[in-house]
């Protein structure tokens, strides 16, 4: 993978690529068992902490979006299915179509950027909107889908190798 042209990547604000919203302040007591994933501030199971029914017919978050945990586990996650989420999560909905592999790449970049937010430097919806990320573009001025796919696939392969190793030594 050739990352020698990183200096030619474009700096873009999150708000220029995504609409930024939040979920609903549903308490555990308000949640009823169902089949809708409920995403909160967790780095496990892709942030899904429960499967619930839809109380009050709330609007489901669309598939092919990114959630950004604004407290607790500071992580950005890609979601390919509809879901509901808590108010402690920002939901990034692409303004125009972005391929799932690109969304996974962007989520990884965001996770790296938000690692320094904490209780004293709290991440909020406004700060998420203003985050600047660098993403690769081709010489034709289009997002470099091929490079982002290559990076995501490489990271996925490495993660799979680590999981196989851990499983092999009995850690899973």
Kindly state the average pLDDT of the residues 3-29.
86
In a domain, 41, yes or no: yes
Higher pLDDT, 43 or 81: 81
In a domain, 162, yes or no: no
In a domain, 30, yes or no: yes
In a domain, 156, yes or no: no
Q: Specify whether the CB–CB gap between 101 and 152 falls below 8 A.
A: yes
Q: Specify whether the CB–CB gap between 152 and 135 falls below 8 A.
A: no
Q: For 45-60, how does the pLDDT look when each residue is reduced to its tens digit (9 = 90+)?
A: 888 898 999 878 889 9
- Binning the chain into helix, strand and coil, the percentages to the nearest 5 are 35, 30, 35
The CATH number assigned to the domain holding 101 equals 3.90.220.20
State how far the Cα of 149 lies from the Cα of 86, in Å rounded to an integer.
Answer: 30
In a domain, 67, yes or no: yes
Distance set, CA 91 to CA 15, 31, 120, 147 (Å)? 11, 20, 22, 25
Kindly state the average pLDDT of the residues 5-21.
88
Structural domain span for residue 95 = 8-144
In a domain, 159, yes or no: no
In a domain, 158, yes or no: no
Q: For 70-128, how does the pLDDT look when each residue is reduced to its tens digit (9 = 90+)?
A: 887 889 999 999 999 999 999 999 999 999 999 999 999 999 999 888 778 889 999 99
Residue 34's nearest CA partner among 52, 54, 58 is: 52
Q: For 131-165, how does the pLDDT look when each residue is reduced to its tens digit (9 = 90+)?
A: 999 988 888 888 888 888 888 888 877 777 878 88
In a domain, 172, yes or no: no
Q: Please, which residues have CB within 8 angstroms of residue 160's CB and are 6 or more apart in sequence? A: none
Reported in sequence order, the residue ranges of 4-109 that DSSP labels E, i.e. its strands, are 10-13, 18-22, 33-39, 48-52, 65-69, 76-79, 84-85, 89-94
Residue 6 binned pLDDT confidence (cut-offs 50, 70, 90) = low
pTM as predicted: 0.86
| Domain count along the chain | 1
């Amino acid at each position: 993978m050739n990352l020698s042209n990183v200096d030619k990547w474009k700096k873009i604000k999150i708000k220029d690529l995504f609409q930024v919203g939040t979920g609903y302040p549903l308490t555990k007591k308000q949640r009823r068992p169902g089949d809708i994933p409920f995403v909160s501030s967790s780095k496990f199971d892709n942030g899904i902490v429960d499967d619930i029914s839809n109380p009050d017919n709330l609007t489901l978050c669309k598939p092919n979006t990114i959630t950004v945990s604004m407290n607790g586990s500071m992580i950005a996650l890609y979601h390919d299915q509809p879901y509901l989420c808590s108010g402690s999560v920002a939901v990034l909905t692409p303004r125009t179509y972005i391929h799932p592999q690109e969304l996974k790449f962007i989520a990884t970049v965001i996770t790296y950027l938000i690692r320094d937010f904490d209780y004293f430097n709290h991440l909020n919806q406004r700060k998420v909107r203003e985050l600047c990320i660098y993403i690769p573009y081709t010489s034709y001025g289009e997002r470099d889908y091929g490079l982002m796919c290559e990076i995501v696939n490489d990271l996925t392969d490495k993660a799979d190798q680590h999981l196989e190793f851990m499983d092999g030594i009995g850690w899973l």
